[in-house]
Amino acid sequence: MRAAHADPSRRVTDRRYALGVGLCTVGWAALLLLPGRWLLVGWLVMAPAELAVPAWAERAEPTTWHPGHMAERYGLFTLIVLGESVLSATMAVQAALDATDELGSLLAIAFGGLLIVASLWWVYFSQPTERVVETARSWFEGGRQSDSFVWGYGHSVVFASAAAVGAGIAVAVDVATGHAELSERGAALAVAGAVALYMLSVWAVSGRFKDRTRVGPLSAPVSAAAVLVVGLVTGSVLAIGLVVAATVAAFVVAESRDPSPVP
């Protein structure tokens, strides 16, 4: 409301934000009064409502924003979620080591998980994110407001898939130590599915705004498909990690041989 008072040109936008966020805050607090079985239903109502507030408010007059700040916020949250995946996998391996002597399979999963998380970090941060956001903003200011929302909301899939990687690795550890009723192939597919979704979502939200190298614009979808195939055929987290690391190596080699971006 202070912003609405100080910026008449965006007064309607600011008031819509105040109304929408205020009502959503009341809605989230009201979920505490629901029985446990209704919490999921309440979340399915409130989450879309929360996400709809900016789309509704910005229709009046777009707000201004700084690409460097936005890139830092989204990048740091991606880094935090990847770190949580490392923590989840580390705790699962540590708990397994305390309960079993199956070192070989656990070391393979741990090394494969390290390759995966490090490679996923590179996939996101391979190019300064601020440049990507600046390009997205130029599209936004050119009248393509939807591109800005695709970049912002698309990160929800990036965050979710990054977190799912850690959960998948933990499942693979449970399978290796006999604490889960799931096949090794099923556990590997849990990891491969999360990795493939992460690569596709990063490519969808940022790939089209990045400088394209000779590797080609379809490298991320092809790599995601390769990860799924390897997970299905081998049932190995280590094999998945090697495929993702090979993807990163291909990018690095291609960029070193031809650093100039393709128009």
Q: Which residue has the higher pLDDT, 122 or 92?
A: 122
Determine the pLDDT at residue 161. Answer: 95
Q: How large a percentage of the chain has pLDDT more than 90?
A: 44
What the block records as the tokens of 99 is 């309960």
Distance between CA 184 and CA 262 in Å, rounded? 41
The number of C-alpha atoms within 13 Å of 85 and in the hemisphere containing its C-beta is 33
Answer whether residue 88 shows pLDDT above 60. Answer: yes
pLDDT classification of 56: cutoffs 50, 70, 90: very high
User: How far is the CA of 13 from the CAs of 18, 51, 61, 80, 143, in angstroms?
Assistant: 9, 15, 6, 31, 17
- Find tokens 């201004």 and name the residue: 64
What the block records as the tokens of 164 is 């799912």
Q: What is the mean pLDDT of residues 156-174?
A: 92
Q: How large a percentage of the chain has pLDDT more than 70?
A: 84
Determine the pLDDT at residue 143. Answer: 46
Answer whether residue 257 shows pLDDT above 80. Answer: no
- Find tokens 């550890």 and name the residue: 173
Burial (CB count within 10 angstroms: exposed 0-12, middle 13-18, buried 19+), residue 69? exposed
176-219 pLDDT, tens per residue?
888 778 888 899 999 999 999 999 998 888 766 565 555 556 67
Q: What is the mean pLDDT of residues 35-62?
A: 91
DSSP string for the chain:
-HHHHH-GGGHHHHHHHHHHHHHHHHHHHHGGGS-GGGHHHHHHHHHHHHHHHHHHHTTTSPPP--HHHHHHHHHHHHHHHHHHHHHHHHHHHHHHHHH---HHHHHHHHHHHHHHHHHHHHHHHSS-HHHHHHHHHHHHHTT-HHHHHHHHHHHHHHHHHHHHHHHHHHHHHHHHTT-SSS-HHHHHHHHHHHHHHHHHHHHHHHGGGSPB-TT-TTHHHHHHHHHHHHHHHH--HHHHHHHHHHHHHHHHHHHHH--SPB-
pLDDT classification of 263: cutoffs 50, 70, 90: very low
The structure's pTM equals: 0.82
Q: What is the mean pLDDT of residues 119-139?
A: 73
Answer whether residue 103 shows pLDDT above 60. Answer: yes
Answer whether residue 138 shows pLDDT above 70. Answer: no
pLDDT classification of 16: cutoffs 50, 70, 90: very high
Determine the pLDDT at residue 214. Answer: 54
Answer whether residue 174 shows pLDDT above 80. Answer: yes
Mean pLDDT score across all residues of the chain: 84
CA of residue 231 relative to chain centroid, distance: 20
